[in-house]
Amino acid sequence: MTYDDNNVFAKILRGELPCHKVYETDRVLAFMDVMPRGDGHVLVIPKSKARNLLDVDPEVLAELMKAVQVVGKAAKSALSADGLTIQQFNESAGGQVVFHIHFHVLPRFDGVPLKPHTGQMEKPELLMEFAEKIRTALSAA
C-alpha cells in the first residue's frame, strides 16, 4: 500500500486542518485526539510520510518513540493518571483507520474503562484544557 497525501494527519501537518498541539519538534507532532477514548488522549505522529510501522524509517520510529515517552510522562503527570495505555495499529485488519503512522497515548484511571470509538467529536474547550495541562507539565519537566 502507498502513502495517501490526503489523509487527515497529512492535512494537519500542512496546516490545512487545525489541531490542539501538545508537543512539537522538527520531526514529530503531538496533539489531542478530537474523538478521544479517554481524558487526555493524545496522538503522536512523525512529520515525515509513513503509512505505518511496516514502512516507517527506523530512525523516524526512534524519534517517534522518544516523543511518545515524553508525552506519556507529561500526560500521566498532568492528569494525575494511575497509568498509561499506548496503542498503535497497522493496516485495516489491524485496526488502523488513518494511514499515517501514529501512536495513541491514553492516560488511564483505576476503574475507568476506555470509551468506545464512536466517532463523536469532543468539545474543543475540553480539548484545549487538557492540551494546556499537558503543555504545562512538559514545560515543568
Q: Give the CA angle between residues 22, 138, 51 to the nearest 5°.
A: 40
- Active-site option among 20, 41, 102, 104: 102
Q: Which residue has the cell 478530537?
A: 34
Pairwise CA distance, residues 130 & 30, whole Å: 13
Question: What is residue 88's three-state secondary structure?
Answer: coil
User: Is 41 part of the annotated catalytic residue set?
Assistant: no
Burial 16-27, CB ≥16 within 10 A → b, else e = eeebbebbeeee
SS3 108: strand
The set of residues, in sequence order, having a beta carbon less than 8 Å from that of 63 and lying 6+ positions away, is 25, 27, 28, 46
Distance of CA 26 to the CA centre of its chain: 16
Q: Which residues are tagged catalytic?
A: 102
